[in-house]
Amino acid sequence: MGSRGTIVVELQLVDIFADISGFFFARDFVREKGYRVCLDGVTNTSLPLIDRRKLGVDLVKLFWAPEMVTPGNEENKPTEAVTEAIQKIGKSRLILARCDSPSSIRAGQSVGLSMFQGRHVDTVLYADSRRAPAPRPAAR
């Protein structure tokens, strides 16, 4: 178990509430195996309704939406309701997903988030991996 790193099992919000008792069984089962559990499929409208601790999940994956930022907000900070919900869940326990632009990353960073997923993240990582390493100086 120690050599495989951390494995996170993602469970969709819709599936959890479709069979809550099945979710609790599955959550306990995967936790016994040493896995972490992530609540996936959370939107800005469902975010305030989520209590991570009561559900017993390790992480919450929030889908980015432009509506999360107040229009005309030059600092690109999420609305007060979204910010409060993020604080309740815990900044280190939330993944901002579907980040397809730099503005989505800036919005997440403005409230202290550090975990991101999405096309923009993939593009940046791919560009970094394509950079050629600096040439080594010739041996004397």
Walk me through the domains of the chain, giving residue ranges and CATH numbers: 2-130 (3.20.20.450)
Name the packing angle between helices 119-130 and 102-110 (round to 10°). Answer: 110
pTM (2 d.p.) = 0.81
Give the pLDDT of the chain (140 residues) as one tens digit per residue: 555 678 999 999 999 999 999 999 999 999 999 999 999 999 999 999 999 999 999 999 999 998 898 777 667 788 889 999 999 999 999 999 999 988 899 899 999 999 999 987 778 777 766 665 666 676 66
Distance, in Å, from the CA atom of 99 to the CA atom of 121, rounded to the nearest integer, reads 7
